[in-house]
Amino acid sequence: MAEKIKPPRIRVSRRIKKNKVFKVKVKFDHPSFTGLAMADDTTEPVFNRAKPVTFIRNMLVYYGDELVSRLSLSSGIADDPLFTFKLKATKEAPVKIVFIDNFGKRWEASKEIKFKG
């Protein structure tokens, strides 16, 4: 299943001005799943393990060569998530986003940041 997962897609604000904050949206179609099922609600804990788990473990954000953010994740995130965060346009450089899942598989995408206006 994991080999069919496509790389993430990045979208940024259309008009990025120097030293202004802009939005970065990244969509990653990943089948994150807790692997849990509620088979019995009479005792604690109410969930049992039903399937193997798969989830995104880390999202790393690089701006130019610099690591600027890290999102540590668990299987409590929805599948095919869309993450939105902000960056300050300090330089014209690529924004690179790396995803690593619980099997150690790695995906990346990048978007060139150019100032307009």
Residues between 49 and 78 that touch another protein (CB under 8 A) = 49-53, 55, 57-58, 60, 63, 66-78
Which one-letter amino acid corresponds to residue 98?
V
If binding is defined by CB under 8 A, does position 5 make contact with another protein?
no
Tokens describing residue 20: 């202004």
If binding is defined by CB under 8 A, does position 2 make contact with another protein?
no
- 69 or 110: CB nearest another protein: 69
Q: Strand 9-12 and strand 21-27: pairing?
A: antiparallel
Spell out the residues 6+ positions from residue 59 whose beta carbon is closer than 8 angstroms to its own.
26, 70, 71, 73, 83, 97, 98, 99
Nearest residue to 106 via CA among 60, 73, 65 = 60
Binding mask of the shown chain, residues 82 to 101, with x at each position contacting another protein by CB under 8 A? xxxxxxx-x-------x-x-
If binding is defined by CB under 8 A, does position 110 make contact with another protein?
no
Tokens describing residue 87: 């960056």
- 88 or 114: CB nearest another protein: 88
Task: Determine phi and psi for 29, rounding to 5 degrees.
Answer: -80, 85
Residues that bind another protein (CB under 8 A): 9-11, 21-22, 25-27, 34-40, 43-53, 55, 57-58, 60, 63, 66-79, 81-88, 90, 98, 100, 102-104, 106
